Amino acid sequence: MNQNERYESAKAQYAAIGVDTDAVIAKLKELPVALHCWQGDDVTGFDHDGPLTGGIQTTGNYPGKAGTPQELMQDMEKAISLMPGKKKLNLHASYAIFEEGEFVDRDKLEPKHFAKWVEFAKKHNMGIDFNPTYFSHDKVKDGLTLSSPDEETRKFWIEHGKACIRISEYFAKETGIPCVMNIWTGDGYKDIPADRMGPRMRYKESIEAILSEPFDKNLVKPCVESKVFGIGVEAYTAGSAEFTLSFAATHEGCLPLMDNGHYHPTEVVSDKIPALLCFFPEIALHITRPIRWDSDHVVLYDDETREMAKEIVRNDALDRVYMALDYFDASINRVSAWTVGFRSWQKALLNAMLHPNALLKQLQDENRMTELMVLQEEAKLFPMGDVWTEYCRQCGVPADGEWFREIETYEKEVLAKR
């Protein structure tokens, strides 16, 4: 059978359970997924020489890391050419691009420092998401930013947040697509604090001060991302799950952002998605792969990744959930890492959309749990691979088994020469 015959055969099998594969492909092509710039250079950015801080870490020193904006864009361009589906660019403030000899601190950043990124996004038809950078900076005082007891420190980081709101609005206006602006800090303590509420009250007031910057709620979607702990911040984080969720719930227009590496290991974000959808008009996700801790491994097509996608799809929430990738592996070819993670999430979405979701819900509601188990198990072996190959073909990107050759060539011709 050639690929076309295989697709036709798969299409007929899916049609028999009520799933229209052509419609699924057409829909998946239009779903934006935010692609993070920071996989390309191990979360380094361009505005500092110091180490990565804030309780997050990259491990490995695979050769060929992008060291300049040009290299990062070139690598991302390569990765994009190997990914099916619609992308949105996800930037951190630390990726500001300055003129030769220019330096502007984070509290004074302006839209013009991101003009080259806007150009890049437009070239690739992407919207842009944004993140103020509350780490890897000498004004992080004793590990704290927005929750610091030091007023100067807080003020600096509040100004950074406000600058980022202005930049986010600029992105939205330039691209015509709303900008999701995510606030995450690594603020916390390595060991048992004596005051757990004080830092949270200061954190709350600081985020409120940032959000007091005027902005159009249709253009900028501020989020708060929680975290259970970080490296060196094991005992306490100011931005805990309860803190950020309560903040978002009580501040109109602010979204909760769940990163699936940021919970206790037996908690699953797939179960949290439908819980939040009962209350929030919109939510945001960071999709990653934690191994034993928030290790930010490359996203794979694994069980929990599939479950998260299913919860978005079967609750009809594709237009209510902002999906962003957040992983960084420095131990393997970074362009390949980017590509595998993006393709894996695309596969998870495709898989979810190829499920007979209405029928499965009906079986549950009629308490036909035996049949539900049987059908859920059988759905796993449906010929999704043939639909995936067709999807890649329609998107004009190489299929599985083909794209890695391009990575090898790129490594030889570009990365190895750096």
CB atoms inside a 10 Å sphere around CB 409: 11
Max Cα–Cα distance, the chain, nearest Å: 69
Residue 329 in contact with ligand RNT, rule: CB under 6 A: no
386 is catalytic: no
Which one of Zn ion, ligand RNT, none interacts with residue 38, CB within 5 to 8 A by kind? ligand RNT
Q: Out of 286, 310, 347, 355, which one is annotated catalytic?
A: 286
Amino acid at 49: D
Which one of Zn ion, ligand RNT, none interacts with residue 14, CB within 5 to 8 A by kind? none
Eight-class DSSP state of 98? P
Residue 324 in contact with ligand RNT, rule: CB under 6 A: no
Smallest gap from residue 259 Cβ to ligand RNT (A): 5
Amino acid at 131: N
Q: Which is nearer to ligand RNT, 75 or 225 (CB)?
A: 225
Structure tokens at 281: 């008009």
Number of separate helices (H) and strands (E) present in the chain? 14, 12
Q: Out of 11, 78, 262, 310, which one is annotated catalytic?
A: 262
Residue 168 in contact with ligand RNT, rule: CB under 6 A: no
27 is catalytic: no
Residue 184 in contact with ligand RNT, rule: CB under 6 A: yes
36 is catalytic: no
Measured CA to CA, the distance from residue 51 to residue 353 in angstroms comes to 41
Residue 289 in contact with ligand RNT, rule: CB under 6 A: no
225 is catalytic: yes
Measured CA to CA, the distance from residue 132 to residue 77 in angstroms comes to 23
Tell me which of 33, 34, 35, 56 binds ligand RNT, using CB under 6 A. Answer: 56
Residue 286 in contact with ligand RNT, rule: CB under 6 A: yes
Tell me which of 174, 213, 326, 411 binds ligand RNT, using CB under 6 A. Answer: 326
Residue 278: in which H helix or E strand, if any? none
Distance of CA 97 to the CA centre of its chain: 22
78 is catalytic: no
Please choose, from the candidates 45, 75, 62, 72, the residue with its C-alpha nearest in 3D space to the C-alpha of residue 333. 62
Which one of ligand RNT, Zn ion, none interacts with residue 227, CB within 5 to 8 A by kind? ligand RNT
Measured CA to CA, the distance from residue 262 to residue 69 in angstroms comes to 29
Phi then psi dihedrals of residue 35, to 5 deg? -105, 120
262 is catalytic: yes
Smallest gap from residue 225 Cβ to Zn ion (A): 6
Residue 131 in contact with ligand RNT, rule: CB under 6 A: yes
Residue 326 in contact with Zn ion, rule: CB under 5 A: yes
Measured CA to CA, the distance from residue 294 to residue 303 in angstroms comes to 17
| E runs forming strands in 63-187 | 86-92, 128-131, 179-183
| E runs forming strands in 316-370 | 321-325
Q: Out of 41, 296, 311, 411, which one is annotated catalytic?
A: 296
Contact (CB, 8 A) for 225 and 175: no
Q: Which is nearer to ligand RNT, 259 or 411 (CB)?
A: 259
Tell me which of 259, 294, 390, 411 binds Zn ion, using CB under 5 A. Answer: 259
Structure tokens at 115: 């003009």
Residue 35 in contact with ligand RNT, rule: CB under 6 A: no
Residue by residue, what is the 3-state secondary structure of 346-396? HHHHHHHHCCCHHHHHHHHHCCCHHHHHHHHHHHCCCCHHHHHHHHHHHHC
Residue 329 in contact with Zn ion, rule: CB under 5 A: no
Smallest gap from residue 392 Cβ to ligand RNT (A): 28
Q: Which stretch binds Zn ion (CB under 5 A): 142-150, 228-236, 256-264, 328-336?
A: 256-264
Residue 289 in contact with Zn ion, rule: CB under 5 A: no
Please choose, from the candidates 83, 84, 64, the residue with its C-alpha nearest in 3D space to the C-alpha of residue 72. 64
296 is catalytic: yes
Tell me which of 227, 289, 310, 347 binds ligand RNT, using CB under 6 A. Answer: 227
**Contact characters 246-285, ligand RNT, x per CB under 6 A:** -------------x--------------------------
Contact (CB, 8 A) for 59 and 294: no
End-to-end CA distance of the chain: 43
Number of residues located near Zn ion, criterion CB under 5 A: 3
Catalytic residues: 184, 225, 227, 259, 262, 286, 294, 296, 326
Q: Which residues bind ligand RNT (CB under 6 A)?
A: 38, 43, 56, 131, 184, 225, 227, 259, 286, 294, 326
Q: Which residues bind Zn ion (CB under 5 A)?
A: 259, 286, 326
